[in-house]
Amino acid sequence: PLLFNLLGACYNKLGQFNPAAQFFETAISIKPDYAEAFLNHGSVMREIGKLDHAAKSFKRAVEILPSYFEAHNKLGVTFIDLNQFEDAIEHLEWAVAYKYDFYEAHNNLGVANRKLGQISIAAKNFEKAIKINQNYTLAYLNLGVTLTELGQKDKAVKCFKKAISIDPDNPLAHEKLEELNSN
């Protein structure tokens, strides 16, 4: 199963998702409790837009290995894409419970909170992501948008400026900063 998983990873890296999926499925058929192969299979299913299949694979990975924080995170993001925000929050909370410094999961949790209208909670999660990784542009962008929604224009401007200082070519940061400065 390890070799089939590795072959799947190679095909995935090459952008050949259908053969990658087949190799992951072979690895899983040989070793039905292979959490990593389920994670990889779910990732490929996301790439080809089969979100329900992706969710099923990520769920199986966390059933096999409940502390698999990466699988919880990917399942949470998949649930966000499926507009299942409560389920997303549940798995993203598990991801950060198992790995507190998982800044991407804190950011994703903020996204799910924001989608549910939990704007203040979202801001706190984006702030946690930034505290862990002070160069995480996406969290600054998300926090800036959220602060704008909260009417905290000056703080939002600082977030977009920080995002630009990290990634000077980021078009979204420039766009959002320009919008705030024109208002």
What residues have CB less than 8 Å from 56, skipping those under 6 apart? 42
**Across the 183 residues of the chain, what is the mean pLDDT of every consecutive 10-residue run?**
97 97 98 98 97 98 98 98 98 98 98 97 98 98 97 96 97 95 83
Give the amino acid at 23: F
pTM strictly above 0.75:
yes
CA distance 61 to 27: 13
Element (H, E) at 21: helix 17-30
Structure-token match 């990784």, residue found: 133
